[in-house]
Structures are given as structure tokens and as C-alpha cells.
Chains A and B, each alone.
Chain A
């Protein structure tokens, strides 16, 4: 089984708009479905993609429509890798409080990065936090 050549890939820069990014999420969802990924894996990947994109729009680009979010997805036979980059100032992902702490449980917000780290197999932040890249290995590949 070839695990070096993507069976599907996508890369595009879109404005910092939820509507534009929703189209990208739909595309990624369809690609995963088409390649036969399980519902559980597909939902996890799309959710983490959405979290990364929302963070890029709101926290990275501060909702500035003039700023772009670059989204890349490489789908292999045995894994899926996603990359999201914003034009913001970056942040330190290690300083985000744990949202499952009992005194933080009721607080809205602060769960996006946590979900990505918990649901994906590998997560890395680059360029001062303006780039997040994560990988999900496919079960029963």
C-alpha cells in the first residue's frame, strides 16, 4: 500500500470568514467520506480542522477579512494531515489552561486546542504558533 503519495490533496488560502472556511470543511468531509474513512475518524478530523480554522480566524487574524487563512490537507491511505496557517502574531500553545479543570469546566471557550491535541495522533505548532499541523492515523488502514 502506497503511503507516500497523497490520494487527495488540497491547499487554498481563504479570507478570514466562517462562510469561506465552511466550504473548505465541506470539501474535506466529502474527501474523507469518499475515501472510506470511518464516521468516527471523519467527524474527529473535521472537528479538529474546524477548531484550527476558527482559531485562525478569531484569535490569529482577529476576524480581519483582509487577512488570509491558509488551509492544506493531504489524505494518504494510512493517515490524514492538516495544516492551518494564519497571519496573526502567534501564541504559545503550552500556556493554554486545561479546560477540564473543575473550576474551568463551566467556562465557554478555551477548548479548541485541547480537542485537537486529544483527538489527533500528532500535533505541532510552528512559526510562533501561527501554523498548526496535525495528523490522524487511519485505523485498519
Chain B
């Protein structure tokens, strides 16, 4: 299963090549794209394997992939923001929250903003209960997250 990669402008071809060629094509739970200097990762909790079969969710791999992406972005050094799209996520336990916190610290050190969008009401409840809705930048849509960067 390959990550979907979108290149918007040839002006950023060099950046695209450097960062996107480094991102593994086989992230199981992330679809990654780069627009300008903003990386967007759509989280896919449910795996599609061998056609229509659903694969089991592996939280450890999920967390590892988030942190791996963060590490690559931090190494790149000139990514303004990582927007994480939660539209396809139904479950989000505290281990994933921990991964998000580690990711945030990694990106903050690289001067990259971490933004979250399209969280379901149920998962937002988890952020609210743990007061992490005040810690993370959370937006209703990807467009609104992007506009906040203007």
C-alpha cells in the first residue's frame, strides 16, 4: 500500500524531492502529501488489505509511523506545519495521545506547527477530558487549518 503523494508546484520540486522521496511508501496508517511547505497526513485507522478485507489495527505501528514522519519533517527543517487529518479515525487511546505529544515536541523543536483537523465528536471528547484540546491546535476542517497559517 503506498502513501499518496501530491506535488502542487514545480517551484517546490526540490523541496518535494528531498522530503517526499524520504517518506516511506509503505506507511500503513498515513496518507502523506506536501503542499507548499505544509505536510498533510490523513490518518487511516482501518487497513484495506488484499482488496476489501479489513486488517487489524496495530497501535504500536500507528504511533511509530507518526513519530517517524515527525522525525523526517524535523530533519528536513523547512516545513512550516504538519496538518493531521482525523477524518478516518474512530479510536484514539492514550497511547496515541502520547505519540501526538511526542510528535508535537519533535516538531516544536524544528519550528514546525502541529495542527489537527476533522476530529470526530467522540475523539474530541478524549482531548477535552484530558485538557489537551487547549494544548493542540484543533480545527474543524483542513481548509481552516491551512487558512490559519496565512
Instruction: List A residues at the B interface (Cβ < 8 Å).
Output: 18-19, 22-23, 26, 39-40, 43-44, 46-47, 50-51, 54, 99-100, 105-109, 111-112, 114-115, 118-119
Contact = CB atoms under 8 A, between A and B. Distances in A.
Contacts, number: 68
Nearest to A110: B94
Nearest to A41: B122
A108 B131 contact: no
A100 B97 CA distance: 13
Interface centre among A47, A51, A112, A119 (most CB of B within 10 A): A47
Contact of B122 (A19, A22, A39): A39
Q: Say whether chain B's binding surface is mostly helix, strand, loop, or mixed.
A: helix
A18 B58 contact: yes
B51 to A, nearest CB: 19
30 contacts: A18-B59, A19-B56, A22-B56, A22-B58, A22-B59, A23-B56, A40-B122, A44-B125, A47-B91, A47-B92, A47-B93, A50-B91, A51-B93, A54-B94, A99-B130, A105-B131, A105-B132, A106-B101, A106-B104, A107-B101, A108-B97, A108-B98, A108-B99, A108-B101, A111-B98, A111-B130, A112-B93, A114-B129, A115-B126, A119-B129
A100 B131 contact: yes
Contacts of B104: 106
A43 B131 contact: no
Interface string B91-111: 111110111011011000000
A26 B56 contact: yes
B7 interface: no
Contact of B135 (A40, A54, A106): A106
A114 B126 CA distance: 11
B26 to A, nearest CB: 19
Nearest to A49: B93
What range describes how many residues of B lie at the interface? 20 to 34
Interface string B8-29: 0000000000000000000000
Interface in B48-86: 56-60
**Which one of B56, B94, B105, B123 has the highest number of Cβ atoms from chain A below 10 Å of its Cβ?**
B94
A51 B92 CA distance: 10
B94 A22 contact: no
Contacts of B132: 105
A26 B105 CA distance: 32
Contact of A46 (B91, B99, B121, B125): B91
B102 A108 contact: yes
Nearest to A111: B94
Contacts of B130: 99-100, 111, 114-115
